[in-house]
Amino acid sequence: MLRKNVSISDAHLRLLDPLLKKHRGNLSATMREIIDFTGFITENMGSLELAKDLLTEKSHAKEQTLHRIYGVTIPLTMFQWLLADRKNSLPPLNHATQLFTSQNELNIYDVDSLGKIINDELSFLNWPVKVAITNEDCHVAFQLTGMDQIINKFTAILISLYLANGQKPHKISKLLSYPASIYIQVIEAASHEDAMQSIFENFSDNRDSVPIVSDMMQIKV
């Protein structure tokens, strides 16, 4: 085994911090992973310089696209619905499940975790809307802010569907719409049907037709 003395500045140690935590402070294991990764990049890309150039080019192209007025992305199934199946004013439930479902069961009253899940997904899609969540005496409130009223409303519908079809369904108790924001307050519902009814009452153009929740995919919140 070859042993070498290596001098590392504080700045480089800070860059290594995530890997050091992964390896529980073992600098030797950290260096081995870096060497393995460097070998992988060199073998597949030719050189580190070429890999840097390609990543920089892709990042620049993505940034240019995302900063255009129409630079947003949507899931494939949602895109198909927008193109071909706009019979109802409300999107299918699976659009909410694929956007906001957490791997672990989530407590809706943990507003910090819920806000992070929602805002991270919206940021990834580059939708121009932000969500702030508060909890006062078991009344959870969502403030959706964005300059596009249609996107604000669509996001509010998806979040409401997500909350209505969790293990503990929540219904809309209050909704206020402003030019650049939407305020929604939710409370625990008696059933999934009760929660879905509140969504149709607030958002649907066809309020007499409420889908049967038992026929829809449910998610855990």
pLDDT in tens, 37-53: 888 878 777 787 877 77
* Model pTM above 0.75: no
Q: Which band of pLDDT confidence, cut at 50, 70 and 90, is reported for residue 167?
A: confident
d(CA 70, CA 60): 17
Q: Is residue 155 domain-shared with residue 50, that is, in the same domain?
A: no
Coil, strand or helix: which one is 215?
helix
Grade residue 6 by pLDDT with cuts at 50, 70 and 90: confident
Asked if 36 and 119 sit in the same domain, the reply is no
Q: What pLDDT was estimated at residue 212? A: 39
Domain that holds residue 151: 76-215
Residue 220 has what pLDDT? 38
For the record, the structure tokens of 42 come out as 């060199």
Q: What is the crossing angle of helices 27-45 and 48-66, to 10°? A: 80
Q: Which pLDDT belongs to residue 3?
A: 73
pLDDT above 60 (res 218): no
Taking CA atoms, 130 is separated from 6, 43, 134, 136, in Å, by 45, 42, 14, 20
Burial of 51 (0-12, 13-18, 19+ CB in 10 A): middle
What mean pLDDT is reported for the chain?
78
Res 97 pLDDT > 80: no
Please tell me the predicted confidence (pLDDT) of residue 210: 45
Q: Which residues does 178 contact at the CB level (< 8 Å), separation at least 6? A: none
Q: Is residue 191 part of a domain?
A: yes
Total structural domains within the chain = 2
On whether residue 117 sits in a domain, the answer given is yes
For residue 56, how many C-alpha atoms fall within 13 Å in the half-sphere facing its CB?
A: 6
Q: How far apart are CA 130 and CA 126, in angstroms?
A: 10
Note whether 62 and 80 are same-domain residues. no
Measured between alpha carbons, how far is 23 from 66 in angstroms, rounded to an integer? 35
Residue 95: C-alpha distances to residues 2, 19, 47, 69, 219 (Å):
55, 35, 41, 23, 11
Same domain, 114 and 208: yes
Average the pLDDT over 78-84 and give the result.
78
More reliable by pLDDT, 102 or 166? 166
Structure tokens at 60: 């620049």
Going by pLDDT thresholds of 50, 70 and 90, the confidence category of residue 57 is low
Assess whether 211 and 110 both reside in one domain.
yes
Residues 135 and 86 both lie in one domain? yes
What pLDDT does residue 172 have? 94
Residues 86 and 54 in one domain: no
pLDDT band for position 105 (cuts 50, 70, 90): low
Exposed, middle or buried: residue 77 (CB in 10 Å: 0-12, 13-18, 19+)? middle
What pLDDT, in 10s, does the model give residues 204-217?
Answer: 765 444 443 433 33
Q: Both 103 and 173 in a single domain?
A: yes
Q: Of residues 56 and 18, which shows the higher confidence score?
A: 18
Mean pLDDT of 147-162: 90
Q: Does residue 221 lie in a domain region?
A: no
Q: Do 52 and 122 sit in the same domain of this protein? A: no
Residues 170, 84, single domain; the answer is: yes
Tokens (6 digits) for 19: 């890997």
pLDDT of residue 194: 92
Identify whether residues 110 and 203 lie together within a single domain: yes
